[in-house]
Amino acid sequence: MTEIDGRTRLCGLIGDPVEHTFSPAIHNTVAEQTGENLVYVPFHVKSREDIPAAVQGAYALNILGLNVTVPYKQAVIPCLKEVDPVAEAIGAVNTLVRIDGGYRGYNTDYKGLRRALEAQGVIIWKHDVVIIGAGGAARAAGFMCGEAGVKRLVILNRTVEKAQALAQDIQKLFPAMEITALPLSQAGRIPFAKCLAIQCTKAGLFPNTEETPVTSALFFQKCELAYDCIYNPEETLFLRKVRQYGGTGWCGIGMLLYQGIEAYELWTGKRVSKDAAERARNVLSSFLHAGKKKNLVLVGFMGSGKTTVGKALARQTGCPLFDCDEEIVKQSGKKITEIFQTEGEGGFRRRETALLQELCRRKEEGVIYSTGGGVVMSPENRQYLKELGTVVLLDITAETVIQRLGRDSTRPLLQGPDRVKKVRTLLVRRQDAYHQAADLTIDAGKGTPDEIAEEIIKRTGFAGEKRRGQQK
């Protein structure tokens, strides 16, 4: 944390409420990483009538910049000296930058979304885009599409009139773009063969995690890429469906991060490095998981490294590793292959469920659980896994599984001829269940077990004994 002295610059956030904001985590981490003498704090402005006084007061106090959150993104506009033209067209300002005599307003949400997509390697203008929603986030997404040079856009919204109004506003600034507004009920009829979908509604936001704005299979078949602006939870039902139909999707944490970084760069005039951005992303991610769960639960396909990564995690954190398969062997006095032979897969799964039930009852803390590859298949088990801890999916491709498992003869489900086909079929069948179970997905195909363990610790904020000790 920055040492506060006579030269410390102050930035902050105005909104109502502000208690649950992640912005201080972003800005104070970036300030620490860049060595800037800057501190960021939230200011709770309790009423709309106080906005002019808040902005004037901030200027008088030499505050360098402010973020603005709900419900003041429109109300702040008349209090500004200047407004960026795109922010004016969007009709919402979320960042104030100090200039001579007052503040200039910007909207960094649309820039944050663009950077989040580009950070994933998406070349936005090459795609036909579908925006779902017509509120604040959808407005930012629509103007982002215009700026990025998208040629064809469909806006889907529950209230179609709002989608039409947004389409008209975007069209004024980007007349060459082909824009269609449709009600959500016509999601299956979008006129594209493939698209990039940007989910901007509140459907699926915690605690309504079993909602999705679209259910049409025809729609998901066309979703090649998808961005869900929601970041709590990271795995929404919408994203799960995208993956189920073979698409690739990302949650809104990158947008949150980059809208903050854009603001920081406007305030300081300095570009934030990739490393500093990565550090802030990890802090954000650990904030999202912190306090929620006291244990880590590793799930993933056979060969994804649950045991080796689990051991690396145990070494790095000083926490015990509990291997569920080993426990079943211990309790039953039989090898896994024997259980499959004598009791069938059903018998093994019943033992797994009973063990998870028992582990939840024990209410232990600071444990790393490594689970069997098929444990996620039953909804009951997924519920127990979530209760047990932060569920981390070690994601892996069929090719890597085949490479890693070679001719392993201890995996009952892979015995017999045509193992490659078996891996592919089984992985496809389980993929949706893995993503449903996971709080966090980690690419387990890259890096050493220690590197993957480091990444899990950074992103979950799981400290464990050794690390807790170090922090004292």
User: 156, 166, 229, 263: which one contacts ligand NAP (CB under 6 A)?
Assistant: 229
* Cα–Cα distance for residue pair 388/362, rounded to 1 Å: 10
* Cα–Cα distance for residue pair 345/450, rounded to 1 Å: 32
Q: Which is nearer to ligand NAP, 117 or 336 (CB)?
A: 117
Interface pattern 206-225 for ligand NAP (x via CB under 6 A): -----x-x------------
CA atoms within 13 A on the CB side of 218: 9
230 lies in the binding site for ligand NAP (CB under 6 A)? yes
Select the span of 35-43, 75-83, 156-164, 392-400 touching ligand NAP (CB under 6 A). Answer: 156-164
109 lies in the binding site for ligand NAP (CB under 6 A)? yes
Q: Which is nearer to ligand NAP, 13 or 388 (CB)?
A: 13
162 lies in the binding site for ligand NAP (CB under 6 A)? yes
Q: Whose CA is closest to 275, among 290, 259, 256, 261?
A: 261
User: 8, 37, 56, 159: which one contacts ligand NAP (CB under 6 A)?
Assistant: 159
252 lies in the binding site for ligand NAP (CB under 6 A)? yes
Interface pattern 299-338 for ligand NAP (x via CB under 6 A): ----------------------------------------
Scan for tokens 């307003």, then name that residue. 105
Helix, strand, coil share (%) of the chain residues, nearest 5:
50, 15, 30
Q: What's CA 51's distance to the chain center, in Å?
A: 32
* Cα–Cα distance for residue pair 171/348, rounded to 1 Å: 59
334 is catalytic: no
- Closest separation in Å from C-beta 213 to ligand NAP: 4
* Cα–Cα distance for residue pair 239/242, rounded to 1 Å: 5
Rg (CA), the chain: 24
135 lies in the binding site for ligand NAP (CB under 6 A)? yes
The answer to whether the CB of 352 falls within 8 A of the CB of 385 is: no
Residue 143: what residue type?
F
Contacts of 68 by beta carbon, 8 Å cutoff, 6+ apart: 13, 14, 15, 76, 93, 94, 95, 96
Q: Give the helix ranges, DSSP H, for 105-247.
A: 109-119, 136-148, 160-173, 217-222, 237-244
The answer to whether the CB of 442 falls within 8 A of the CB of 310 is: no
User: 157, 285, 304, 460: which one contacts ligand NAP (CB under 6 A)?
Assistant: 157
User: 81, 151, 158, 422: which one contacts ligand NAP (CB under 6 A)?
Assistant: 158
Select the span of 130-138, 327-335, 374-382, 443-451 touching ligand NAP (CB under 6 A). Answer: 130-138
Q: Which is nearer to ligand NAP, 3 or 210 (CB)?
A: 210
The pairing of strands 95-99 and 102-106 is antiparallel
User: 44, 48, 189, 202: which one contacts ligand NAP (CB under 6 A)?
Assistant: 202
Select the span of 29-37, 79-87, 228-236, 315-323 touching ligand NAP (CB under 6 A). Answer: 228-236
* Cα–Cα distance for residue pair 83/309, rounded to 1 Å: 50
133 lies in the binding site for ligand NAP (CB under 6 A)? yes
- Closest separation in Å from C-beta 153 to ligand NAP: 15
Kindly list the residues in this chain that would bind ligand NAP in the complex (CB under 6 A): 109, 133-138, 157-159, 162, 200-203, 205, 211, 213, 229-231, 252, 255-256, 259
Question: Catalytic residue numbers?
Answer: 73
